[in-house]
Chains A and B, each alone.
Chain A
Amino acid sequence: MALTKFHGPTLDEIGFFYCISTCVVLTLFSLVLFFNETYLLLGSFSIYPAFLFLGVLELTKWTYSQILHQKDSLIYRNKKLSVILLLWNNLKTSGFKEFFKSIIIVGGSVIVYYILAVLFGAQVLKNFEETFMFSMLLSQLTIFPLCLNVGASDIPHLLSTMESSNAIHSLLIMNIKGTLAGAWLGAIVIPLDWDRPWQEWPIPCSVGAFCGYILSHYVLLIQTFISPTTKFWMPRKKQ
């Protein structure tokens, strides 16, 4: 279900939750990756549990945002298994068409990222596994959240205008920009002749994308705290 049509404090709240959960969980996650040196596997298929984890995290955030979004609508308040029902209902209302569309968009974005990586200098087919995993990571960090939160049919519009109409959209755009900038910056260490294992393609770029993703969330979090208009963490006044 797309969260496009709504404004107001709820969306700010969802955005805040998004940022704070990503910051906490992914920072810990990246520390784990770093200390057991799993990040060196970022270019091979064997890293897929990490990808799964990222996907699950994104889904959880989305589910929570759905609950938060609809908690005032009273429909599911008293039912057990409300979460599953809510999801099912969402899927039913927005249609399976939307669902398949999202899958196609994510798949297409992997191909687009692959082509981009090749244009920017990756081997065409020689390092297929590495380049493929890199483009998988990028699309998981950028397009997958978009599909969940914006809805497949609205993605082209959002991507072509890059204009944010609400808090969630600006968060997603910021996150795309951060991820891509991180991946771009990551390439800096590749040419250096230090002969370290972490200089192998695509580890620096993947790590850079990951860091850019987390950093953009931190930046947003700080912005939310500084900004004078969003005071939703204050106790709401009862009317």
Chain B
Amino acid sequence: MKLSWRYLLFLLWLSYLLVTSILLFARGFLLNRTILNTKSTCGSRDHICLDVWSSSEDEEVLAGYSWGDAQRCLDSVSDGSQYCTESNTSVIILLIDALRYDFVATEIDDLSLPYKNKLTVIDEMLKSNSGRLYKFVADPPTTTLQRLNGLMTGSLPTFIDAGSNFATSEITEDNLIDQLVKNNRSVVQMGDDTWTQLFPGRFLRSYPFPSFNVWDLDTVDKGIKIHLTPEILKKDWDVLIAHFLGVDHCGHRYGPNHPEMERKLLEMNEVIGNVISVMDANSVLFVFGDHGMTKSGDHGGDSDNEVSSALFVYSPNKTILSNFRDVGSIRQIDLTPTLSALLGIPIPFSNLGSSIININADSEKFISSSLWMNVLQATSYIKAYSDQNTQLPPDSLNKLLEKFHFLTLLIRNIKNNNDVQAVSVKAQEYLKMLREICENVWVRFDSISMSRGLVLLFLNIALALIFVDGMPSKCFQDIIKSNFMWYGFMSIILSVLVTYLLFIFDFISNFELSLYFITNTASLVVFSITISLNWVEIANHWHLQGKTSAWSNIIFRVIVLFSSFGLFSNSYVVEESSVVSYMYLTSLWISVLMMRSQITKKINKFGSLWTYNQYSVRRIVIVLAIILSILIRISWFYWQCREEQSSKCIFDKNKFDYSLSLLSTVVFAVFITISRNILKNFGNLVGFSPPVFISRYLPTVCVVCSGCYWILHSLPARMKPKLIPWQLLLLPRFVLCTSVLCIIVYFIKPLCIYYITKEEQRNRVFSDSVSLFHYLKAILIKKSNNDVPECPIVYGLATAYSATFLNIAVFLCLISAILLGESRALVSIILILSLILLTIILATVRHSRSNSQGDNFLVPWWSVVCWGFSSLYFFYGTGHQPTFPGIQWDAAFLMGDIVSTFLPGVLVIVNTFISQILHALLLPLLFISQFTLGVVWPLATQNIDLKKGEFLLAKQEGLLWKGMFSLTARYILFQGWRVFISMLSASIHSRHLMVWKIFAPKFIFESMAFLVTIPFILMSYLLVERISTSIKSLIEVLKS
């Protein structure tokens, strides 16, 4: 087996270990709620614990009422049976997505804001006392899917469910829609198509409209408006749901402070007015939002603005309306039992909300009232839940049952209406307590998995560090060449088998987690055995390293430690964008300073003439570093703000207008031209082989397309209707597909090289001027060195590696520009430019510090750290934040309204981690640039002869793969270390106030970034492998 593949296998192994230990931790940290499949049913009056009160007048029985009665009562309803009342009420639900409370609430003072006081119908109804307005508090995560789930089931979706937003799937838990269908009621739904995904086949009629295109403010709302009034007039339904998305999309696109918001809200106002005018006397209208929005119009987190939306209830029938309790603020899940009570269907089994219907009844009626049903249902749910698993702490469970017992005693003693009111207050308190217990439990962690994940990740990183860094390179090469790898993979296969056997014989319950744990342990054993066998060499090597270690190494270690310990502090995580930028600049400038300290020694050695040259090189490097710093500072402009930084950080979505898209088009054109000129200068744009052809023509085509798209797309809204959206979208789709295809082509045929063999030179037929030109050029070159025997001429061999990477960088830049949208397109140019500058600076500094040619083949830690900081920084630089509202969903709909959620999901992930992807794919540049510099800028390479450029790489294979491996492994370890620290901070802060807002999202984003980095970094390694093999085969061809 080839050496390069052995190294690749080792990298694969290492990444598998790191990834699985992260997954192991994640499984423990992001716990799921167990879903119970029990459904509520309509039972007889026996099932409401009537017997308990059969002789309520009898004082003696009262005294004899025992704990067992409450238990018996609960047992009788444990199958979910409830008593259902008759009802002929019908319900109209107008769900206005992201309707924040202050959009509805009237305030006189702030008329200037576009979202204030626009829903005048609601205001009128409230004034004429024919409606009720509530503050409607949602539970985080405030994403539409989770909210719909919560509204219909009445339960609290846990944090992990937020991740499944893309895999929208049917709700299997007991819910309102299922109950309605089961009790022969019919539901009509229109609007957001998430409903049909959640409840396929449940609706009498359904008018779904695509919800994914967040830039489309009107399609869904217009569709609903067409169908709404006719449907209301049909009257063959019991529940009608209309889900408007315009307000939400307006928030995502423009934010709440925009004239468009005013237009959408006025439109909603009109819709509500229409509905009120056509609805019949026996129906109730609910208007509410599923969540609010932040100041920038996004949602997903748990800030006040996001969770507070509004609920407005209206009915022409005053008696129905008077039943609604008049409280200021209710929980969103309280709507579930309320609707059940109104419609006379059983409350969904896993509901935790409490009904807001008033109780006006005596004791006999009370026990058949919705509130008592609610209490019974919630208590039986929590009993069933605690029977299933041990998540609920027994003491709080006992306390709850005691309360329930107390409540039953109170109900027995109801004498008059005052007592009823008192009891209903108590019952509500009880339900609240129950909900809080559940809330506490569902953010509870599996500490065993967590600690295993932490320990394994740490050990993996530490042992891998010894392998990569601690071993002398010769020793490591021997190990790689030996059977070590086979032992390793054998151990993994063996442990998989063992785990499987254990699983079959029921020794372990969770196959996945045990698999992770056992394979990790087995590999660690193999690692540590190998290390202990080679301990003498390692210790010696460390000893030598410790002697020669420079101050710069210590400084870089301090910087890395500083930056990673920042993850423990919530304010550092919040402000991480500036912190990372600070660290990046510091490490950059320290690298630049490191150059000087070495050069002074050179001056002493080589005398004054040399001094002059070196000074000029250093001056240029300093200028480059200044340019790089300025580029980074400019990219601050593109940062997004977190909810937590609101006071200091101002980010306006509407600050970009279409002059910017013009500018980015021009900049892109210039960038492409320059990159093509560079390629031309080094002979990588000669001939017509597929990769050359691609790099010659396609970037221009792509830039034209994307430029057209940006300009057309950013035109003012009033000019929009003339453009057909799907045709407009063809442009970015074309760019995306072409770029991805081109990158694939570079993997298949990586060389941008043109060559003329000896025979071709002799018998040439000049068919065109180009080949004549090439021939003349070849002759000239031959003339200039006459003594050299006739040899083949190859164009661009000295920059064979970097040319391919430059081409790939151009296409990646296009992809990222398209995905980031026209407002942030420029930042992708900044990214690529800063990466190129960084490689030049680092390569020059390394040259000035290298003592032998062997040094060129090893990328030192400080270069890797600079690169890593750059990747961390540009996550923020491209306008991202490690929060869920901060995700740029716009990217998802670039591929259109495709039903599958896979492609949009991939696009959003690529958009979010574009910086990490670019840095991972271009990582080999750090290694290659050392040799490119010998051709591009010979002055900077000192006295070491690198005139052959990157051809040296292909010649010295052993060094090449060792160097590539250590670079890749170091980068992986650097990123893995970050993940480890974020894991540690998430587990230390697992009871912190901010855990779900700051630390858990940070961990999720860090580990996602790591998971995304791994495949791309392996791909970049593969690309280098491809280039080397192609060069080798080329040499074979030329030799023959």
Residue pair B575, A184 in contact (C-beta under 8 Å): no
Bound CA span A191–B600, Å? 38
B597:A121 contact, CB within 8 angstroms: no
Give the contacting residue for A163; candidates B579, B600, B636; CB below 8 A.
B600
CA distance A184 to B412 in the complex (A): 72
State how many angstroms separate the Cβ of B874 from the closest Cβ of chain A.
16
Q: A193 to B596, Cβ gap below 8 A?
A: no
Instruction: Report yes or no: A118 in contact with B571, Cβ–Cβ below 8 A.
Output: no
Q: Is B309's beta carbon under 8 Å from chain A?
A: no
A84 at the interface (CB under 8 A from B): no
Report Cα–Cα, A164/B77, bound state, in Å. 88
Q: With A118-B633, A119-B633, A120-B585 given, is the CB distance from A191 to B579 under 8 Å? A: yes
- Residues in A176-210 with C-beta less than 8 Å from chain B: 184, 187-188, 191-193
One of A121, A160, A162, A191 near B571 (C-beta < 8 A): A191
Q: Which residue of B lies closest to A159 (CB)?
A: B596
Query: Does A191 lie within 8 Å of B629, measured CB to CB?
Result: no
Cβ contact of B596, chosen from A118, A121, A160, cutoff 8 A: A160
| Nearest residue, chain B, Cβ from A163 | B600
CB distance from A158 to the nearest CB of B (A): 12
CB 8 Å contact bits of A118-133 with B (1 = contact, 0 = none):
1111000000000000
Shortest beta-carbon distance from B606 to chain A in Å: 15
Q: Report if A119-B630 is in contact (Cβ < 8 Å); known contacts: A161-B600, A192-B571.
A: yes
Q: Mark B588-614, 1 if CB is under 8 A from A, else 0.
A: 000000001100100000000000000
> Closest CB-CB distance, B199 to chain A, in whole Å?
44
Q: In the complex, what residue of chain A is closest to B581 when comparing beta carbons?
A: A121
Q: What are the residues of chain A within 8 A of B600 when measuring CB–CB? A: 161-163
A120 touches B582 (CB 8 A): yes
B165 touches A (CB below 8 Å): no
Task: From known contacts A161-B596, A163-B600, A191-B578, infer whether A119 and B571 are also in contact, taking CB-CB under 8 Å.
Answer: no
List, in ascending order, chain A residues with CB within 8 A of B596's CB. 160-162
Within 8 A of B (CB), among A95-131: 118-121
B570 CB–A CB distance under 8 Å? yes
Pick the contact of A121 from B562, B578, B615, B618 — CB < 8 Å? B578
For B570, the closest partner residue in chain A by CB is A193
Q: How far is the CB of B502 from chain A (nearest CB, A)?
A: 48
Number of interface residues of B (CB under 8 A): 23
- Determine how close the nearest CB of chain A comes to the CB of B438; give it in whole angstroms: 31
Task: Give residues of chain B (561-593) contacting chain A, Cβ–Cβ below 8 Å.
Answer: 562, 569-572, 574-575, 578-579, 581-582, 585-586
Residues of B within 8 A of A191 (CB): 569, 571-572, 574-575, 578-579
Beyond A121-B578, A121-B582, A163-B600, is A192–B633 a contact (Cβ under 8 Å)?
A: no
Q: How far in angstroms is the closest Cβ of chain A from B896?
A: 40
- The A-contacting residues of B in range 949-991, CB under 8 angstroms, are none
CB distance A184 to B572 under 8 Å? no
Contact flag A184-B586 (CB < 8 Å), given A119-B630, A191-B579: yes
Given A163-B600, A192-B571, A193-B574, A119 and B629 contact (CB-CB distance below 8 Å): yes
Closest residue to B628 on the A side, CB-wise?
A119
| B627-659 CB contacts (< 8 Å) to partner A | 629-630, 632-633, 636
Main secondary structure of the interface of B (DSSP, over half): helix
A193 and B633 within 8 A (CB):
no
Query: Would you give the shortest CB distance from B239 to chain A, in whole angstroms?
Result: 47
A10 to chain B, nearest CB (A): 27
* A119 B575 Cβ-Cβ under 8 A: no
Q: How far is the CA of A35 from the CA of B556 in the complex (A)?
A: 36
Contacts of A163 in B (CB 8 A): 600
Residues in chain B near residue A187, CB distance under 8 A = 582
Most chain B beta-carbon contacts within 10 A, residue among A120, A161, A163, A184: A120
Min distance, Cβ B355 to any Cβ of chain A, angstroms: 41
Closest CB-CB distance, B576 to chain A, in whole Å? 8
Separation of A136 and B615 alpha carbons in the complex (Å): 29
Distance (whole angstroms) from the CB of A174 to the closest CB of chain B: 13
Q: Is the CB of B569 within 8 A of A192?
A: yes
CB distance from B812 to the nearest CB of A (A): 26
CB-nearest residue of chain A to B630:
A119
Contact indicator B582/A193 (Cβ below 8 Å): no
User: Quick one: CB contact mask for A156-171 with B, threshold 8 Å, 1 for yes?
Assistant: 0000111100000000
In the bound complex, what is the Cα–Cα distance between A119 and B636 (angstroms)? Answer: 10
Residues of B within 8 Å of A161, CB to CB, are 596, 600
CA distance A92 to B618 in the complex (A): 36
Q: A184 CA to B590 CA in the complex, in Å?
A: 12
Q: How far is the CA of A161 from the CA of B593 in the complex (A)?
A: 10
Q: Which residues of A contact B585 (CB under 8 A)?
A: 119-120
Cβ contacts under 8 Å, A193 to chain B: 570-571, 574
- Measured between alpha carbons, how far is A193 from B633 in the docked complex, in Å? 23
Interchain CA distance A191-B629 in the complex, whole Å? 21
Set of chain A residues within 8 Å of B581, measured between Cβ atoms: 120-121
- Residues of A close to B632: CB separation below 8 A: 119
Q: How far is the CA of A202 from the CA of B562 in the complex (A)?
A: 20
Complex: A120 Cα to B587 Cα, angstroms: 12
By a CB distance below 8 angstroms, the chain A residues around B582 are 120-121, 187
- A192 — which chain B residues lie within 8 A by C-beta? 569, 571-572
Give the distance in Å from the alpha carbon of A192 to the alpha carbon of B568 in the complex: 12
Give every chain A residue within 8 A of B575 (Cβ-Cβ): 191
List of B residues within 8 angstroms of A118 by Cβ: 633
**A192→B644 CA distance, assembly (Å):** 12
Chain A residue at smallest Cβ distance from B619: A160
Please name all residues of chain A whose beta carbon is closer than 8 Å to the beta carbon of B579 when the two chains form the complex. Answer: 191
| CA of A189 to CA of B575, assembled, Å | 12
CB distance from A191 to the nearest CB of B (A): 4
* A residues less than 8 Å from B562 (CB atoms): 188
CA separation between A184 and B569, bound complex, in Å?
19
List of B residues within 8 angstroms of A120 by Cβ: 581-582, 585-586
Closest A-chain residue to B636, C-beta based? A121
CB distance from B866 to the nearest CB of A (A): 16
Q: CA separation between A188 and B572, bound complex, in Å?
A: 9
Among A161, A162, A187, A191, the most chain B Cβ lie within 10 Å of the Cβ of A191
- Contact indicator per residue, chain B 705-722, by CB within 8 Å of chain A (1) or not (0): 000000000000000000
* Chain A, Cβ-Cβ closest to B593: A162
Residue among B562, B570, B629 with max Cβ neighbours from chain A (10 Å): B629
Distance A37 CA – B629 CA, assembled complex (angstroms): 35
**Which single member of B578, B597, B618 contacts A162 (CB below 8 Å)?**
B597
CA distance A161 to B615 in the complex (A): 10
Compute how far the CA of A22 lies from the CA of B575 in the bound complex, rounded to whole angstroms.
37
B678 to chain A, nearest CB (A): 27
Q: Once bound together, how far apart are the Cα atoms of A118 and B632, in whole Å?
A: 11
CA separation between A66 and B570, bound complex, in Å? 53
Q: Which chain A residues in 48-103 approach chain B with CB under 8 Å?
A: none
Most buried by A among B562, B581, B582, B629: B582
Which residues of chain A have C-beta atoms less than 8 A from B615's C-beta? 160
Closest residue of chain B to A184, judged by CB? B586
Per-residue contact bits, chain A 26-39, to B (CB 8 Å; 1 contact, 0 not): 00000000000000
Inter-chain CA distance A188–B630, complex, in Å, is 22
B596 nearest CB across to chain A (Å):
7
Whole-angstrom distance between the Cβ of A228 and the nearest chain B Cβ: 24
Chain B residue with Cβ nearest A193: B571
Closest Cβ–Cβ distance, residue A216 to chain B (whole Å): 15
Binding site for B on A (CB under 8 A): 118-121, 160-163, 184, 187-188, 191-193
Q: 13 A-B residue contacts at CB 8 Å?
A: A119-B630, A120-B581, A120-B585, A121-B582, A160-B615, A161-B596, A161-B600, A163-B600, A184-B586, A187-B582, A191-B572, A192-B571, A193-B571
Extra A-B contacts (12), CB below 8 Å, given A120-B582, A162-B600, A163-B600: A119-B629, A119-B632, A121-B581, A121-B582, A160-B618, A161-B596, A187-B582, A191-B571, A191-B572, A191-B574, A192-B571, A193-B574
Q: Return the 3 tightest CB-CB contacts between A and B, nearest first.
A: A191-B575, A193-B571, A119-B629
